[in-house]
């Protein structure tokens, strides 16, 4: 370009290897460019600063330079035609002139000429009746005949009349035909429906496992071409159905499940050791895999688990219930999608009706409707294989259907415990489960805002209900057994609320205990409900954690029970042993040491001995070496000893014992003793690894080996006894002297300077990549800021320049106008003066 326009940035020193970007500049060019740009943007804006309306050029292709003018015109024309098409102007008479022939629109005849009516394909083809030809091509014939008739003069004046008759006849005929066709179609429809039903039945049997070819054969056997057609189409539909996600095979599912469990187990172990709590805290994103913060994931999880079970084992009743619930939820989802507000009415609606309703929305033709329905079902079924199966099972099970129809589908979460209780009152266990399931599904936290709090309350109600069931005279433990499932599910959804409510119950129980101790000086074992709660804790929470917000208080409470409560009756012994079992279960994985457990078992053994035998061991509180409650478990009756058989101790015995005969009491005593032996055996296995195992078990061993009247016991009991003693005695004694862990030596403070390696002079030394990036970003930001400020300054300068030029222009114009006016006035004045002078002269 022009060398005078180039500005060279001269460099003072040439440095080898350095690339310079800005050694030459074109100031003039860049300035003009900037001004041009401002002219296009800033100036425009400035000029339109007080205008609100905009002019828009909507002409087609006005600014498109690629299109030639001719093409543009053509396009515009077509556009105009398209816009006008379909718009019928009633005042425009020219627009819709329709050519008719015998009162029929010619255009329509033309259209219909080639297309055979779908209804008429059953008619015999090729044999065109005279009437038909007359109707279709009748004009010609009629005209011809007319000509003939006109030639034959007025002889046949009635010709037009006869023609009229002919037409009427024809119309009647066609009507009749139409009716026939209709009846035929209806019968066909009926048949297809029937077939459809048959097909559905078959479908449940083959459950989509038979290969397609086989099924096709089956269908082909059906004689009617109509149905065959239908099946073919159906199969076509099926083929076209979108490929859903591949169902995972059993092994894959098993593998996944295994991986999941492994991960959870590793997590549990980490918590059990309680070492890296802090490390865990640092990473809040890493939550325990159990922790399912939102219920949505949980749902998914459930489903997978179920499908896995589906494949492997037969569906159990409860699971079926669950699946049902899921299905219902989906149905509800559908309803919501369709914005049907008929939830209330839905209660009595059967499945098929619902299907029908769903199909009512589809715009399929009537004879395709049934096919469409099945096809749609297919699609659905492909996606939800497990639900489908359960559906089938369900259909085969009329009883369940009936039971289901009794219960409403939607439930509001009860607001108080009373309403909750009345909801469940008088229902069977299964129904109660279904009700709970539905409450849970209908009020899923993802559906509405307040549902979370409501369901959290539900957990409390359920706990209370269980407690009530357990405190009844005849505790309904079977019901509780089933109710644990929804409890578990709720707990998985809301861990915090669940832990809070259980903690609340535990705290109440502990405070009661404390009060009783303060008032009476001694405590009694709590009721069965508390025991059940403690058991539930072990079901809901991992008991192996080093510290757990619920489990640790439960531990404390149980410890208090075992050390503070007096043993006065057989029930107390049973309760105490129950708690011992709980302790054992709690620590079964973590193998933690529970002194109270050993003490209690020792005490129980002690009270099974005849009096005055305590030598070589000491029992501790609540048992006493002497006192009135000794020999509580002693059985002297020989016959009872003989007739005893090991039985599971029924838990209901805790609440009622009076109506039991003496023999039974004796038998229960022996069962307790056997239980005690077994627990000792389990303890021995559990604590084997403790360094002072022998010291811990010493009293128990002495009591067992030296004081037990073994020979009096029945054989079974002797077995229990010997297995326990063997477990205790065949442990090797092994002691290694303790050695402290070596302390890490603390390094001395040193004063040598810190030496940092300098790799490159002149460059900034960045410590890490992150730091470097940060610096870079800061620099870039600075540069951008500077640039923006400069731009704004230039904008302002430009604007000021424009304003100034505007003002100057305005001033110049004014000056010019003033000058003009003055000029004209001057000439006027001159003329006037000249005239005056003339007059004067004259």
Partner 1 sequence: QLPTGLYKKVLVILHDSVLPYMNDPTLMMDFLTVAYGIGGAISLLALNGLFILIHQHNLEYPDFYKKLYSLLDPSIYHVKYRARFFHLTDLFLSSSHLPAYLVAAFIKRLARLALTAPPEALLMIIPFICNLFRRHPACRVLLHRPGGPADMSEDPYIMEEEEPSESRALQSSLWEIQSLQNHYHPDVAKAAAVLNQSLSEMEDDISGLLELSASELFDKEVKKKAVDVPLEFEQVRGLFGKKNDIFAEHFSLD
Answer whether 498's CB lies under 8 Å from 490's CB: yes
Give just the sign of the alpha carbon dihedral 431, 432, 436, 437: negative
Among the listed ranges 2-10, 334-342, 672-680, 802-810, the one in contact with partner 1 (CB under 8 A) is 672-680
**682 contributes a contact to partner 1 by CB under 8 A:** yes
In a 3-state reduction of DSSP, which class is residue 7?
A: strand
Q: Which residues pair with 104 in a beta bridge?
A: 101
Among the listed ranges 7-15, 46-54, 529-537, 701-709, the one in contact with partner 1 (CB under 8 A) is 529-537
Cis omega (within 30 of 0) on the bond before 499?
Answer: no
* Vertex 446: Cα angle to 440 and 449 (nearest 5): 95
**271 contributes a contact to partner 1 by CB under 8 A:** yes
Answer whether 444's CB lies under 8 Å from 451's CB: yes
Residue placing its CB nearer to partner 1 in the complex, 135 or 587: 587
List the structure tokens of 545: 């954690």
139, 140, 160, 274: residue in contact with partner 1 (rule CB under 8 A): 274
Residue placing its CB nearer to partner 1 in the complex, 435 or 537: 537
In the complex, least distance from residue 408 CB atom to partner 1, rounded to whole angstroms? 26
Cis omega (within 30 of 0) on the bond before 622?
Answer: yes
Return the residues of window 47-86 that contact partner 1 according to CB under 8 A. Answer: none
Identify the DSSP state of 706.
Answer: I
In the complex, least distance from residue 647 CB atom to partner 1, rounded to whole angstroms? 8
* Site pattern 12..51 for partner 1 (x: CB under 8 A): ----------------------------------------
* CA R_g for the chain: 49
Residue placing its CB nearer to partner 1 in the complex, 170 or 584: 584
Give the 3-state DSSP-derived string for 87-119, with helices as H, strands as E and coil as C: CCCCCCCCCCCCCEECCEEHHHHHHHHHCCCHH
In the complex, least distance from residue 584 CB atom to partner 1, rounded to whole angstroms? 6
Residue 409 to residue 437: CA distance in whole angstroms: 10
Residue placing its CB nearer to partner 1 in the complex, 26 or 589: 589
In the complex, least distance from residue 753 CB atom to partner 1, rounded to whole angstroms? 34
**678 contributes a contact to partner 1 by CB under 8 A:** yes
In the complex, least distance from residue 622 CB atom to partner 1, rounded to whole angstroms? 9
**380 contributes a contact to partner 1 by CB under 8 A:** no
**741 contributes a contact to partner 1 by CB under 8 A:** yes
10, 12, 19, 281: residue in contact with partner 1 (rule CB under 8 A): 281
Residue placing its CB nearer to partner 1 in the complex, 72 or 564: 564
Among the listed ranges 2-10, 607-615, 691-699, 788-796, the one in contact with partner 1 (CB under 8 A) is 691-699
List the structure tokens of 455: 């369901």
Virtual CA dihedral for 359, 360, 362, 368, nearest 10 degrees?
A: 80
587, 632, 673, 708: residue in contact with partner 1 (rule CB under 8 A): 587
579, 601, 651, 700: residue in contact with partner 1 (rule CB under 8 A): 651
Return the residues of window 487-506 that contact partner 1 according to CB under 8 A. Answer: 487-488, 491-492, 495-496, 498-499, 503, 506
In the complex, least distance from residue 209 CB atom to partner 1, rounded to whole angstroms? 28
Residue placing its CB nearer to partner 1 in the complex, 109 or 516: 516
**648 contributes a contact to partner 1 by CB under 8 A:** yes
In the complex, least distance from residue 260 CB atom to partner 1, rounded to whole angstroms? 8
Answer whether 724's CB lies under 8 Å from 704's CB: yes
**464 contributes a contact to partner 1 by CB under 8 A:** no
Residue placing its CB nearer to partner 1 in the complex, 358 or 577: 577
**262 contributes a contact to partner 1 by CB under 8 A:** no
**684 contributes a contact to partner 1 by CB under 8 A:** no
Residue placing its CB nearer to partner 1 in the complex, 452 or 548: 548
Among the listed ranges 46-54, 266-274, 385-393, 770-778, the one in contact with partner 1 (CB under 8 A) is 266-274
Backbone torsion region of residue 74, taken as left when φ is above 0, otherwise alpha when ψ lies between -120 and 50, otherwise beta:
alpha
Virtual CA dihedral for 460, 466, 468, 474, nearest 10 degrees?
A: 180
Residue 270 to residue 190: CA distance in whole angstroms: 67
Residue 825 to residue 677: CA distance in whole angstroms: 136
**315 contributes a contact to partner 1 by CB under 8 A:** no
Q: Which residues pair with 73 in a beta bridge?
A: none
Residue placing its CB nearer to partner 1 in the complex, 665 or 799: 665
**402 contributes a contact to partner 1 by CB under 8 A:** no
**467 contributes a contact to partner 1 by CB under 8 A:** no
139, 691, 709, 823: residue in contact with partner 1 (rule CB under 8 A): 691
Which is nearest to 146 in space by CA: 131, 162, 135? Answer: 162
Give the other-Cβ count within 10 Å of 139's Cβ. 13
**589 contributes a contact to partner 1 by CB under 8 A:** no
696, 702, 799, 802: residue in contact with partner 1 (rule CB under 8 A): 696
**463 contributes a contact to partner 1 by CB under 8 A:** no
Return the residues of window 781-800 that contact partner 1 according to CB under 8 A. Answer: none
In a 3-state reduction of DSSP, which class is residue 646?
A: coil
Residue placing its CB nearer to partner 1 in the complex, 276 or 514: 514
Answer whether 442's CB lies under 8 Å from 411's CB: yes
Which is nearest to 483 in space by CA: 432, 439, 534? Answer: 432
Return the residues of window 84-123 that contact partner 1 according to CB under 8 A. Answer: none
Residue 676 to residue 688: CA distance in whole angstroms: 18
In a 3-state reduction of DSSP, which class is residue 801?
A: helix
Residue carrying the six token digits 């129809």 = 405
In the complex, least distance from residue 756 CB atom to partner 1, rounded to whole angstroms? 36
Return the residues of window 534-573 that contact partner 1 according to CB under 8 A. Answer: 535-536, 538-542, 545-550, 552-553, 555-557, 559-560, 563-564
By the 10 Å C-beta count (0-12 exposed, 13-18 middle, 19+ buried), 421 is classed as: middle
List the structure tokens of 761: 């002079």
Pairing mode of beta strands 7-8, 100-101: unpaired
Among the listed ranges 183-191, 212-220, 262-270, 761-769, the one in contact with partner 1 (CB under 8 A) is 262-270
Residue placing its CB nearer to partner 1 in the complex, 388 or 599: 599
Return the residues of window 698-737 that contact partner 1 according to CB under 8 A. Answer: 733-737
List the structure tokens of 322: 């669950």
Residue placing its CB nearer to partner 1 in the complex, 427 or 682: 682
In a 3-state reduction of DSSP, which class is residue 25?
A: strand
In the complex, least distance from residue 599 CB atom to partner 1, rounded to whole angstroms? 5
In a 3-state reduction of DSSP, which class is residue 242?
A: coil
Q: Which residues pair with 25 in a beta bridge?
A: 7
In the complex, least distance from residue 386 CB atom to partner 1, rounded to whole angstroms? 17
> Which residues contact residue 304 at a Cβ distance below 8 angstroms, ignoring those fewer than 6 apart?
253, 256
Compute CA 508 distance to the chain's CA centroid, rounded to the nearest angstrom: 36
**746 contributes a contact to partner 1 by CB under 8 A:** no
Which is nearest to 271 in space by CA: 540, 495, 546? Answer: 546
**649 contributes a contact to partner 1 by CB under 8 A:** yes
Helices 528-540 and 477-493, packing angle to 10 deg: 40
In a 3-state reduction of DSSP, which class is residue 523?
A: strand
In the complex, least distance from residue 618 CB atom to partner 1, rounded to whole angstroms? 5
Binding residues for partner 1, total number by CB under 8 A: 106
Q: How far is CA 413 from CA 131, 246, 417, 443, 456, in A?
A: 73, 37, 10, 7, 10
**675 contributes a contact to partner 1 by CB under 8 A:** yes
Return the residues of window 231-250 that contact partner 1 according to CB under 8 A. Answer: none
Residue placing its CB nearer to partner 1 in the complex, 235 or 298: 298
In the complex, least distance from residue 273 CB atom to partner 1, rounded to whole angstroms? 10
Residue placing its CB nearer to partner 1 in the complex, 196 or 319: 319
């Amino acid at each position: 370009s022009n060398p005078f326009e180039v500005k060279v940035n001269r460099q003072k020193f040439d440095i080898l290897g350095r690339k310079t970007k800005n050694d030459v500049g074109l100031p003039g060019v860049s300035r003009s460019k900037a001004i041009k740009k401002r002219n296009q943007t800033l100036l425009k804006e400035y000029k339109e600063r007080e205008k609100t309306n905009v002019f828009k050029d909507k002409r087609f292709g006005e600014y498109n330079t690629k299109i030639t003018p001719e093409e543009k015109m053509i396009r515009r024309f077509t556009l105009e035609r398209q816009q006008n098409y379909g718009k019928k102007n009633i005042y425009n008479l020219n627009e819709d002139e329709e050519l008719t022939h015998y009162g029929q629109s010619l255009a329509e005849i033309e259209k219909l000429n080639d297309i055979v009516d779908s209804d008429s394909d059953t008619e015999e083809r090729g044999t065109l009746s005279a009437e038909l030809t007359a109707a279709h091509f009748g004009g010609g014939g009629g005209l011809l005949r007319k000509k003939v008739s006109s030639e034959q003069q007025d002889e046949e004046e009635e010709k037009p009349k006869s023609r009229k008759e002919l037409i009427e006849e024809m119309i009647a005929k066609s009507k009749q035909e139409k009716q026939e066709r209709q009846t035929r179609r209806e019968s066909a429809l009926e048949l297809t429906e029937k077939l459809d039903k048959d097909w559905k039945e078959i479908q449940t049997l083959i459950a989509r496992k038979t290969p397609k070819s086989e099924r096709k054969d089956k269908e082909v056997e059906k004689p009617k071409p109509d149905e065959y057609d239908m099946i073919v189409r159906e199969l076509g539909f099926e083929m076209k159905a979108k490929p859903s996600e591949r169902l995972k095979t059993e092994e894959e599912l098993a593998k996944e499940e295994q991986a999941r469990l492994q991960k959870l187990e590793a997590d549990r172990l980490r918590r059990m050791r309680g070492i890296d709590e802090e490390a865990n805290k640092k990473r809040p994103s890493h939550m325990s895999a159990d922790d399912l913060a939102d219920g949505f994931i949980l749902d998914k999880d459930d489903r997978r688990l179920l499908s896995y079970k589906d494949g492997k084992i037969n569906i159990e009743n409860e699971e079926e219930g669950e699946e049902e619930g899921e299905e219902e939820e989906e149905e509800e989802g559908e309803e919501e999608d369709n914005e049907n507000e008929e939830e209330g009415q839905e209660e009595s609606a059967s499945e098929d009706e619902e299907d029908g309703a769903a199909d009512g929305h589809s715009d399929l033709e009537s004879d395709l409707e049934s096919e469409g329905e099945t096809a749609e079902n297919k699609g659905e079924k492909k996606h939800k294989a497990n639900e489908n199966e359960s559906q089938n099972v369900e259909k085969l099970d009329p009883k369940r259907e009936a039971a289901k129809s009794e219960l409403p589908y939607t439930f509001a979460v009860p607001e108080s415990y009373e309403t909750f209780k009345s909801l469940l009152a008088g229902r069977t266990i299964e129904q109660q489960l279904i009700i709970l399931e539905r409450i849970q599904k209908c009020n899923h936290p993802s559906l509405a805002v307040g549902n979370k709090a409501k369901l959290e309350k539900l957990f409390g109600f359920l706990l209370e209900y269980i407690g009530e069931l357990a405190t009844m005279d005849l505790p309904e433990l079977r019901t509780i057994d089933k109710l644990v499932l929804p409890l578990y599910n709720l707990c998985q959804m809301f861990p915090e609320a669940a832990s809070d409510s259980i903690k609340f119950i535990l705290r109440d129980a502990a405070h009661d205990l404390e009060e009783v101790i303060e008032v009476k000086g001694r405590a009694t074992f709590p009721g069965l409900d508390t025991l059940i709660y403690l058991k539930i804790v072990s079901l809901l929470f991992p008991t192996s954690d080093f510290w757990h917000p619920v489990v640790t208080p439960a531990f404390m409470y149980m410890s208090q029970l075992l050390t503070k409560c007096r043993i006065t009756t057989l029930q107390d012994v049973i309760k105490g042993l129950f708690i011992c079992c709980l302790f054992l279960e709690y620590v079964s994985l973590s193998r933690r040491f529970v002194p109270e457990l050993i003490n209690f078992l020792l005490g129980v053994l002690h009270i099974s001995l005849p009096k005055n035998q305590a030598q070589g061991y000491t029992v501790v509180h609540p048992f006493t070496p002497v006192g009135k409650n000794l020999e509580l478990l002693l059985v002297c009756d020989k016959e009872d000893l003989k007739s005893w058989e090991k039985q599971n101790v029924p838990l209901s015995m805790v609440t009622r014992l009076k109506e039991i005969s003496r023999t039974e009491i004796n038998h229960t005593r022996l069962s307790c003793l056997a239980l005690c032996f077994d627990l000792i055996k389990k303890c021995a296995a559990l604590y084997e690894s403790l360094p002072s195992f022998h010291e811990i078990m010493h009293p128990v061993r002495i009591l067992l080996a030296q004081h037990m009247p073994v020979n009096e016991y029945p054989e079974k009991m002797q077995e229990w006894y010997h297995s326990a003693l063997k477990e205790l005695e065949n442990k090797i004694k092994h002691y290694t002297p303790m050695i402290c862990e070596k302390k890490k030596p603390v390094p001395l403070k040193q004063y040598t300077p810190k030496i940092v390696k300098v790799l490159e002079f002149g460059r900034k030394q960045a410590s890490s990549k992150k730091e470097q990036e940060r610096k870079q970003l800061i620099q870039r930001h600075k540069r951008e800021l500077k640039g923006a400020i400069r731009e704004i300054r230039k904008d302002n300068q430009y604007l000021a320049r424009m304003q100034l030029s505007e003002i100057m222009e305005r001033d110049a114009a004014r000056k010019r106008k003033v000058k003009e006016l003055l000029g004209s006035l001057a000439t006027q004045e001159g003329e006037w003066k000249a005239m005056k002078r003339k007059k004067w002269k004259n």
